[in-house]
Amino acid sequence: MLNIGIIGAGGVGSTAAFALIMRGVARKVVLIDQNAKRAEAEAEDIAHATPFAYANKIKAGTYKDLENTDVVIITAGANQKPGETRNDLLATNVKIFESIIPQLAEHAPNAILVIASNPMDVMTSVAIKLSGFPENRVFGSGTVLDTARFRTLLGYHLGVSPKSLHANVLGEHGDSEVLIWSNAVAGTVQLEQLSKDLDRPLTEEVKNEIDDNVRNAAYKIIDGKGSTTFGIAGALCRICQAIDSNEYAILNVSALHHEVEGVKDICMSMPCVIGKRGIHNRLYPTFSEEEHAKLKQSAETIKGFTETALNYIKKELFFPLQQTPGAIRGFKFIYRVFCGNFPLPGKPRQAKHQSHPPSELKSLIAGFA
């Protein structure tokens, strides 16, 4: 079982905490929210359910309580309102992350970060930049939920269990996501063949209806009840289960890819192998030409919003300018490189370097020593 921290005790965070406790994935959950009273109430309410499941612990806490945490799930951020897209939340949530991530880097430096705040793909890039964590330890919940929606609706139409279906949604967790029909299978049978065998044809009209219901599911749910909670909680629980069991499960999480369909350095959902270290491998399946084109369009959409988000961040370093262990190491590295006491790759170490850094740099580094 995992020690898990959840940042944000709203609908998504508290529901995820409940799922993790009831499924026995978490040994301990720490709920953190700027509204401490809300976090305490949610933690106490969930704790009262533990006698019916596992004798696990949940409490409200602060960032200091995240020491030795295995996974930190970030759900904090502005809520998506009826009529808003996920990308409308961008500027507000970047500011929120600028206050959250440095504290996580200080108190949970070895944790895996799982991002659920929207726009999720973009916020994953922001989290990587602000934390300075290795790429395998920061990823978003991706289209794990969207894929579950796709399989559920396909299962309803075909009259088979969604668990027997292997059909995926890739790209953005948002309006440009891509439903992959070309390589979808049920068991070992191609989807098109199965639909004929069961006399439940997948006409273009049926496909378009399923696509619309998957792509716009969140909007419909938000319009009806104000937010999505249960589906994303289930997705987060599934991801943590794969980490806990070192399962090497293939899940469509949003990871940093150095190139997808010619678009460089973006976080987007593609199949990834998930285990104890977070992301163990990234996979790149083949699709139809039309799906490749749509995936490229999705990647370009994410790239544009990512560049906007990173421009909001005034800091140019890949770690926060605070007195955290990572920041201290970073400043000492800069000091040594510019002072000549730390050779660059391929450059022999000098026996003694005569130059001295500017007094301003000395003072700055002294403050972080």
- Active-site residue numbers? 173
Question: H-helix or E-strand containing 151?
Answer: helix 144-158
One-letter amino acid at 56 equals N
Q: For residue 275, what are its two tokens?
A: 């285990």
Q: Is the dihedral of CA 275, 277, 278, 284 positive or negative?
A: negative
- In angstroms, the CA 122 to CA 118 distance is 8
Place of tokens 């990572």: 326
Q: Is the dihedral of CA 34, 35, 39, 40 positive or negative?
A: positive
Contact yes or no for 111/5 (Cβ under 8 A):
yes
One-letter amino acid at 262 equals G
How buried is residue 168: exposed, middle or buried, by Cβ count under 10 Å (0-12/13-18/19+)?
A: buried
What distance lies between CA 117 and its chain's CA centroid?
8
Cis check for the bond before 357: say yes or no (omega within 30 of 0).
no
Contact yes or no for 173/114 (Cβ under 8 A):
no
Pairing of strands 278-282, 272-275: antiparallel
